[in-house]
Amino acid sequence: MDRDSWFPYIDVLKMNLEESEFSWFEKEYHEEDLGRIDEHDTSHLPEFGEHTLKHGLKALIVTLDEQGSVLFQMEDGAMKQEVIPAIRV
């Protein structure tokens, strides 16, 4: 669980959706977890965002490809989740 020990030293963590899925596990990472990864599943993000913020991050940004990004941060003691739309180029 080294992951949690790093969070107090990180202000802003930016990752893509796949990285967030590989980073979110209950106690330990197991290779059989690879089969559960769904490249479009965002259901884990609120729980992962809350976990990272409670362990010291000031903000978590997860990029969602053409869907934009989602930003998690604390505001008045509560987690705030904001979807930021993609910019067409």
Residue numbers of the domain that contains 36: 2-84
In a domain, 54, yes or no: yes
In a domain, 89, yes or no: no
In a domain, 17, yes or no: yes
| Per-residue confidence (pLDDT) for residue 41, from 0 to 100 | 84
| Per-residue confidence (pLDDT) for residue 64, from 0 to 100 | 95
Number of domains in the chain: 1
In a domain, 26, yes or no: yes
Query: Strand ranges (DSSP E) for 1-89?
Result: 12-16, 59-63, 69-75, 78-84
| Per-residue confidence (pLDDT) for residue 89, from 0 to 100 | 87
In a domain, 64, yes or no: yes
pLDDT tens digit sequence for 26-81: 555 555 555 555 567 899 999 999 999 999 999 999 999 999 999 999 999 999 99
DSSP single-letter state for residue 35: G
In a domain, 45, yes or no: yes
